[in-house]
Amino acid sequence: MIPAGWTPRTAFTELVGCRYPIVQTGMGYVAGARLAAATSNAGGLGIIAAATMSVERMTAAIRSVKDRTGAPFGVNIRSDADDARERVEVMIREGVRVASFALAPRRELIARLKDAGVVTMPSVGARRHAEKVAAWGVDAVIVQGGEGGGHTGPVPTTLLLPQVVDAVDVPVVAAGGFFDGRGLVAALAYGAAGVAMGTRFLLTSDSTVGEEVKKLYLGASDTLVTTRVDGVPHRVLRTPFVESLERGGRLRGLARAVANGARFKKISGLTWPEMIREGRRMRHGRDLTWAQVLQAANTPMLLRAAMVDGRADLGVMAAGQVVSVIDDLPSCEELIARIMAEAHDALSVLPATDNDH
């Protein structure tokens, strides 16, 4: 019999210090201070998506979370950014518990964070990537299967997760296709130390995404993986705008990328030489063509159009396949409490093992 109020203690909860093995992922223009603090206050691990923020805004967001909660939280940054080292120093100075990375962090960043007692946790989409960063000394990994939103790979979570669990000796957090307590139990059974969710936390009352955009998510039934956003596979909601991107020619896409690059330059404050240097790093670190690097400017601008400006007709909405089974907007506290109750119920109905027969 599973006791009421059951709380699983896993290698991840022990490492990070959160109550429940549930992570809210760092979604650009979505995971700000309010959502991260609400998640951490509810017992999960909230993560600020700082890759789309300036260093000053990132610092302000960290301090805002600290004002709202005493629970551990994380910050997600791009390890290939020009100012990655500066951002790391801010996280250390501000006492951030977890440093999260969308790409493999550089070895020197891992070493600096570990020396300061900050947990390092990159996201990976392949077993070989997990093996590489584990050998470099990261503390944990988030492994995302193909069901997940945003940049994703072709291997489903049910195949990728056990491969990674068997390959590395650090806690593995499973992402891609999770939204309830049954999924949490399944992930733990596979050997994961927790689950990470993006779309499910986006669709909460604590998310700052506009209500009209949330309605589009709640009414959605389909996603697609497109390379027309930034040249690499990206899972988004199927919308008329995305379908127009799919129909558009290559030259039209590159022209849009140039225009978006200019807009991103204005908003970010980067100079053209800084953007070119950043493009070179992206090309080297991710094995991209120059056309793909140019298209990468589309990502922040097209996400911003939908998530900040509310213009779904002019932007894209990253979404995992779970969007088709989500139909409500609970608070983070209500969501996490529900997931844990569902996990308890899922375990309670499993057949008992009779050691005598």
Co-location of 134 and 188 in the same domain: yes
137 is a domain residue: yes
Strand (E) or helix (H) holding 110: helix 107-115
Q: What pLDDT is recorded for position 230?
A: 73
What pLDDT band is residue 143 in, cutting at 50, 70 and 90?
Answer: very high
Are both 201 and 337 inside the same structural domain?
Answer: yes
At residue 286 the predicted structure's pLDDT band, cuts being 50, 70 and 90, is low
- Long-range contact list for 221-228, CB < 8 A, 24+ apart? 221/324, 222/324, 223/149, 223/319, 223/320, 223/321, 223/323, 223/324, 225/146, 225/152, 228/253
Q: How confident is the model at residue 266 (pLDDT cuts 50, 70, 90)?
A: low
* Higher per-residue confidence, 135 vs 6: 135
Q: Are residues 154 and 201 in the same domain?
A: yes
Q: Compare 347 and 252 and report the one with higher pLDDT.
A: 347
Would you place residue 325 in the very low, low, confident or very high pLDDT band (cuts 50, 70, 90)? very high
Is the residue at 3 inside a domain? Answer: no
Bigger pLDDT: 162 vs 311: 162
Amino acid 74: pLDDT = 98
Mean pLDDT within 221-245 = 86
Residue 17 lies in a domain: yes
Instruction: Assess whether pLDDT exceeds 60 at residue 147.
Output: yes
192 with 50, same domain: the answer is yes
* Residue 356 belongs to some domain of the structure: no
Sign, Cα dihedral of 15, 59, 111, 78:
positive
Counting the structural domains of the chain, the total is: 2
Report the pLDDT value the prediction gives residue 231, as an integer from 0 to 100. Answer: 74
126 lies in the same domain as 261 = no
**pTM score, whole prediction:** 0.87
Question: What pLDDT digit, counting tens, does each position of 68-101 carry?
Answer: 999 999 999 998 888 999 999 999 999 999 999 9
Domain extent for 245: 221-307
| Residues 181, 33 within the same domain | yes
Lowest mean pLDDT among 23-27, 163-167, 348-352: 348-352
Instruction: Identify whether 357 is part of a domain.
Output: no
Position 320 in a domain: no
Q: What's the mean pLDDT in 195-199? A: 98
Percentage of the chain modeled with pLDDT above 90: 67
Model confidence at 283: pLDDT above 50: no
Percent of the chain surpassing pLDDT 70 = 82
pLDDT at residue 280 tops 80:
no
Q: Which band of pLDDT confidence, cut at 50, 70 and 90, is reported for residue 3?
A: low
**Mean pLDDT across the stretch 313-342?**
95
Residue-level pLDDT at 17: 97
Rounded average pLDDT over 152-158 = 94
Same domain, 247 and 203: no
Looking at the structure, tell me whether residues 158 and 262 fall in a common domain: no
**Res. 187 pLDDT band, cuts 50 70 90:** very high
* Segment holding 77, helix H or strand E: strand 73-77
| 340 plus 198 within the same structural domain | yes
Has residue 2 been placed in a domain? no
- Supply the CATH number for residue 342's domain: 3.20.20.70
In this structure, are 28 and 90 located in the same domain?
yes
Interatomic CA distance for residues 86 and 357, integer angstroms: 61
Higher pLDDT: 291 or 179? It is 179
Model confidence at 353: pLDDT above 70:
no
**312 part of a folded domain:** no
Q: What is the DSSP letter of 321?
A: G
For the cut 80, the answer to whether the pLDDT of residue 293 exceeds it is: no
Q: Are residues 63 and 134 in the same domain?
A: yes
Better-scored residue on pLDDT, 247 or 76: 76
pLDDT band of residue 340 (cuts 50, 70, 90) is very high
Nearest in space to 316 (alpha carbons), one of 252, 227, 251, 249: 227
- C-alpha span between 3 and 240 (Å, rounded): 49
Which helix H or strand E contains 334, and what residues bound it? helix 332-348
- The pair phi, psi for residue 135, each rounded to 5°, is -65, -25
Question: Do 196 and 226 share a structural domain?
Answer: no
The pLDDT score that the predictor gives to residue 357 is 45
